[in-house]
Amino acid sequence: MSGPAASVIERFLDHLSAERERSPHTVRAYAGDLESLRHHLDEVGVGSWGDLTLTHLRGWLAGVSESGASRTTVARRVSSARTFCRWAKKQGVMATDPSVRLTAPKRHASLPDVLQASQAAQILDAARDRTSAGGTGETRSSDAAERAGGESDPTTRAVALRDAAVLELLYATGMRVGELVALDEASLDETNRLVRVMGKGRKERMVPYGAPAETALRLWRSTGRPALAQPASGPALFLGVRGRRIDQRQVRSIVHAATSAVEGAPDLAPHGLRHSAATHLVEGGADLRTVQEYLGHASLSTTQIYTHVSAERLRAGYVQAHPRA
């Protein structure tokens, strides 16, 4: 496909970013999906978006599946193609929408790995202990290499305070990693122990947090953050050792280091703490509507997986403990 085809993609991505206020991460995902489609259309000799048909779309997805992509990836590409085609028809780029009858593969209802409540307590207690020990033992987070060049003890302790606050807040609120790194200091309502979270689709929600997270945040903001802050830090709540807003890679490193240090705990990404928090809420008796609002899910059906997680854990405990299981 010629240069104008690429410019159509750029216009669509601008629409996602400016008009629909999609996150940079989401826009990049759309860009990758549509470039994959454009490459396929080049290979089969389609000259313009106006010539795109349902058969072409199905052929593209078949190739994606045959390359070993997961069902989740294929389903995301179906969604990207549908959104793009609807927009292209409205813009007059396509006379009809060829994606109307395009279907996504059914996803396997795989259950997420989650922590036991006791494991979560171990992880958070260990993070707290590292702050009182001046950061001793915290050697595997993404800031470790930057600290290795003779950083002062205040910096080491500041990172330990930050990591403890990050872990406490992720588990307390169940927020997504992208939501966490976007937080500013003003996002916190310390009086009411609430955090203002900007979720998917620019939907805002207020999420409560408890006393342990309050303590960790207070220590980070009063002692840790000032030790790392630079003139260019801006309003960001969480900072890296160079004073810039923390990024998702750093948070993943923090969570990996914390969970892998607990024997028997699954090696989790930040989303695993979200799954764990939601599962523990359901196990504690929270109703699904409350958990839906807490997580910022648009649909209750997305939240229902946590009832299945709890049921599986109940079944496993029954089999292990009941004499006539």
Tens of pLDDT, residue by residue, the chain (325 residues): 556 778 999 999 999 998 888 888 899 999 999 999 999 999 999 989 999 999 999 999 999 988 888 888 899 999 999 999 999 999 999 999 999 999 877 655 556 788 989 999 999 999 999 988 655 444 345 564 444 444 457 899 999 999 999 999 999 999 999 999 999 999 999 999 999 998 887 888 999 999 999 999 999 999 999 999 999 899 999 999 999 999 999 999 999 999 988 888 888 889 889 989 888 888 888 888 888 888 888 777 777 777 766 666 656 665 665 565 4
Task: Name residue, tokens 């601008």.
Answer: 14
User: Of 200, 218, 308, 313, which residue is the catalytic one?
Assistant: 200
* Superfamily per CATH, domain 117-276: Intergrase catalytic core (1.10.443.10)
User: Of 193, 205, 271, 313, which residue is the catalytic one?
Assistant: 271
In the residue annotation, 40 being an active-site residue is answered as no
Cα 158 to chain centroid distance, Å, stands at: 24
In the residue annotation, 176 being an active-site residue is answered as yes
Structurally, what CATH architecture does the domain formed by 3-90 represent?
A: Orthogonal Bundle (1.10)
> For the whole model, what pTM was predicted?
0.63
Residue 158's φ and ψ, nearest 5 degrees, are -60, -40
Domain spans in the chain, listed from the N-terminal domain onward: 3-90, 117-276
In the residue annotation, 306 being an active-site residue is answered as yes
Residues 6+ away with beta carbon under 8 Å from 91: 11
User: Of 196, 218, 297, 308, which residue is the catalytic one?
Assistant: 297
Residue 232's φ and ψ, nearest 5 degrees, are -90, 5
In the residue annotation, 294 being an active-site residue is answered as no
* Residue 285 Rama label (left phi>0; alpha psi -120 to 50; beta): left
Burial of residue 205 (number of CB atoms within 10 Å: 0-12, 13-18, 19+): middle
In the residue annotation, 274 being an active-site residue is answered as yes
User: Of 22, 38, 176, 245, which residue is the catalytic one?
Assistant: 176
